[in-house]
């Protein structure tokens, strides 16, 4: 079974600085998707960024980028120019592509605090 | 588009009572997921439906939990009888499942916070 591990229960960053959240996963599949979701205090799950495993290029969405290391099964999220609105829980998630299953497997999350 | 709608947003009940959580997926979406979020276990999939048919219910904790999807626009998750350890946030998500292995974003509802006293 696939597992996702986020080793940092909490992280903090100063406003305008850069922070990196870590995620590792375990799978025997060769093709899959990886995601980072943001959950603010409102509880709403918001997709931040996704990465297809077959793509070597790291995904980027504005201030958010990932460092995808397939061999190491690592998928970290970098937030540049941190803003107060970035404060939230961040979840790393995995989804296989084979078999048509859309099931997401989540890590336990990292709570990000942004200090003014 | 109203997004995924869940009701109620908050539910407080006493142990032993029946609880029904409701979900309306995004119109046109053909797959629906129920997740549970707790501090101890994080976010975990309980069950998911494709075209109203349950595909994977391996995450349903025990017989006290049941889920139905009578049509494409409505699903329920029922707990009977409820227990304090069922206290959690329950999320519903939907997706427009296209071709196998293609990327389809899951859209989450706002969740229902359930407290069982």
Q: What is the largest CA-CA distance in chain A?
A: 46
- φ, ψ for residue A24 (rounded to 5)? -125, 155
Residue B63 pLDDT > 70, yes or no? yes
Integer Cα distance of A7 and B49 in angstroms: 32
Q: Tell me the pairing of strands B19-24 and B10-13.
A: unpaired
Count CA atoms closer than 13 A to B114's CA, side-chain side: 29
- How many Cβ pairs closer than 8 A exist between chain A and B? 52
How many residues are there in chain A? 116
Residue B101 has pLDDT above 60, yes or no: no
Please list the residues that pair with B43 across neighbouring strands: B37
Number of neighbours of residue B45 by Cβ within 10 angstroms: 21
Burial of A114 (0-12, 13-18, 19+ CB in 10 A): buried
pLDDT band at A101 (very low <50, low <70, confident <90, very high): low
Backbone angles phi, psi at A98, to 5 degrees: -80, 150
Residues of chain A in contact with residue B35, where contact means CB-CB under 8 angstroms, are 104
* Residues of B (25-64) whose Cβ lies below 8 Å from A: 31, 33, 35, 42-45, 48, 55-56
Residue B91 has pLDDT above 90, yes or no: yes
Q: Is the pLDDT of residue A105 over 80?
A: yes
Six-digit token pair at A64? 């958010």
Cβ-nearest to A107 among B42, B95, B97: B42
Cβ atoms of residues A106 and A92 within 8 Å: yes
How many whole angstroms separate alpha carbon B30 and alpha carbon B98?
9
Query: Mean per-residue pLDDT for A9-20?
Result: 97
The residue of B42, B48, B103, B104 whose CB has the most chain A CBs within 10 angstroms, and thus the best one to mutate to test that interface, is B42
Q: Where does the pLDDT of residue A68 fall: very low under 50, low under 70, confident under 90, or very high at 90 and above?
A: very high
Q: How confident is the model at residue B60 (pLDDT cuts 50, 70, 90)?
A: very high
Mean pLDDT of B37-57: 92
């Amino acid at each position: 079974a696939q597992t996702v591990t986020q080793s940092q229960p909490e992280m903090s960053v100063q406003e305008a600085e850069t922070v990196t959240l870590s995620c590792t996963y375990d799978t025997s599949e060769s093709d899959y998707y990886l995601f980072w979701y943001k959950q603010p205090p409102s509880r709403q799950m918001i997709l931040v960024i996704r990465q297809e495993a077959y793509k070597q290029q790291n995904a980027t969405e504005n201030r958010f980028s990932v460092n995808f290391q397939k061999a190491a099964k690592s998928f970290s999220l970098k937030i540049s120019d941190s803003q107060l609105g970035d404060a939230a829980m961040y979840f790393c998630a995995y989804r296989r592509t084979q078999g048509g299953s859309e099931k997401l497997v989540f890590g336990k999350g990292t709570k990000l605090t942004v200090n003014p | 588009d109203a997004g995924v709608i869940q009701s109620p947003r908050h539910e407080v009940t006493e142990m032993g009572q029946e609880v029904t959580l409701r979900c309306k997926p995004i119109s046109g979406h053909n797959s629906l997921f129920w997740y549970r979020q707790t501090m101890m276990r994080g976010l975990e999939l309980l069950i998911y439906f494709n075209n109203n048919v349950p595909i994977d219910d391996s995450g349903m904790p025990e017989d006290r939990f049941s889920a139905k999807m009578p049509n494409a626009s409505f699903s329920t998750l029922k707990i009977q009888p409820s227990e304090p350890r069922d206290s959690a946030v329950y999320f519903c998500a939907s997706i427009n499942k296209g071709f196998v292995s293609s990327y389809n974003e899951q859209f989450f509802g706002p969740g229902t916070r359930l407290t069982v006293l």
